């Protein structure tokens, strides 16, 4: 069931239902390693994102209660919909995690079947699963035993000679997946090149579950083009949201009175509240670096930003960076 709530020329922004969960919009935030921590997810949700995925975590790490992984999956009751992305290739371990008491605090399980980086691929996880549909199906079925909505993030194929988006989407639906997100590039293309819009369109045409389009979305124009050419049920935005988190409010027409400077001040406060200083410094420097893109003459200040050794210094530099943008 999908109920329209927003409209914009060239776009069909709407609620999206996954099992028993209704997302407020079909504009989603992708899981990004090192960025989609709790404060960033809360910011994107405030700005209009229908769902923000935690960065991917290893099912093996969760099985062994790895401390670094615990930081990645940190959340609070303030996060209304919690979506955890797993990667792994052992259905038994994945089932153990999915059905464990630990998972009771999460609402949606997303399985990464599209990560192209060598270390993930060589382990038989991520995009490697596009070459093993039987195992991919077993992983989805294992997660479905949790009783939670299960989603899959994948690509259009391993390489441009073997594009299988429709076949893979059909397998996902047959295995019980509630939604599939398709990055329009193959594994061999990594993060560059024109997405295969036709592959996403073909996948959409053969399944009844929502298909979300992803890849190469760096403006409203790109998103309109993706939606129009694929007929997808929604979009998932990646790195562009680091640079312009207001993309969510632009698409959903959500009224926001804050500027980037205000958002970053709130990010500092929230990150400092729940994370140690080392993580806070690293994260705030990275997210500020993205948000200051396009500000004329900011390069020297960016260099100064990365030399900051504490939060007070970051705030001082941040004030000079964004002073010209403040209303």
Of 209, 180, 247, nearest to 13 (Cα)?
247
Q: How many CA atoms lie within 13 A of 131 on its CB side?
A: 17
Residue 155 and residue 164: Cα distance in Å, rounded? 9
Residue pair 214/238 in contact (Cβ under 8 Å)? The answer is: yes
Q: Which of 115, 143, 172, 308 is catalytic?
A: 115
Helix (H), strand (E), coil (C) string for 192-231? CCCCCHHHHHHHHHHCCCCEEEECCCCCHHHHHHHHHHHC
| Token couple for 121 | 């691929």
Q: How many CA atoms lie within 13 A of 138 on its CB side?
A: 13
**Does the annotation mark 172 as catalytic?**
no
| Token couple for 83 | 């979506």
Residue pair 165/128 in contact (Cβ under 8 Å)? The answer is: no
What is the chain's length?
Answer: 327
Which residues are catalytically annotated? Answer: 115
């Amino acid at each position: 069931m999908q109920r329209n709530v927003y409209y914009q020329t060239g776009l069909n922004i709407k609620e999206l239902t996954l099992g028993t969960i209704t997302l407020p919009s079909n504009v989603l935030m992708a899981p990004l390693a090192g960025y989609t921590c709790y404060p960033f997810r809360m910011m994107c949700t405030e700005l209009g994102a229908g769902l923000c995925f935690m960065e991917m975590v290893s099912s093996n790490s969760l099985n062994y209660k790895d401390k670094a992984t615990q930081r990645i999956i940190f959340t609070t009751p303030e996060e209304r919909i919690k979506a955890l992305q797993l990667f792994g290739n052992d259905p038994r371990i994945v089932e153990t995690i999915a059905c464990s008491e630990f998972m009771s605090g999460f609402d949606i399980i997303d399985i990464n079947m599209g990560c192209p980086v060598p270390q993930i691929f060589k382990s038989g996880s991520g995009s490697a699963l596009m070459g093993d549909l039987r195992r991919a199906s077993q992983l989805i079925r294992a997660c479905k035993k949790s009783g939670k909505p299960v989603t899959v993030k994948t690509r259009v194929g391993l390489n441009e000679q073997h594009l299988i988006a429709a076949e893979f989407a059909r397998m996902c639906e047959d295995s019980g997946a509630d939604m599939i997100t398709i990055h329009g590039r193959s594994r061999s293309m990594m993060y560059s090149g024109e997405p295969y819009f036709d592959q996403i369109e073909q996948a959409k045409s053969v399944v009844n579950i929502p298909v979300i389009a992803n890849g190469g979305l760096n403006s409203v124009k790109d998103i309109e083009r993706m939606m129009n050419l694929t007929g997808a049920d929604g979009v998932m935005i990646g790195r562009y949201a680091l640079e312009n988190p207001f993309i969510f409010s632009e698409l959903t027409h959500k009224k926001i009175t804050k500027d980037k400077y205000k958002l970053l001040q709130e990010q500092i406060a929230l990150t400092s509240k729940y994370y140690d200083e080392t993580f806070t410094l690293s994260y705030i420097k990275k997210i500020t670096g993205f948000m200051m893109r396009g500000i004329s003459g900011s390069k020297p200040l960016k260099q100064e930003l990365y030399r900051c050794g504490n939060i007070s210094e970051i705030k001082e530099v941040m004030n000079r960076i964004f002073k010209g943008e403040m209303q």
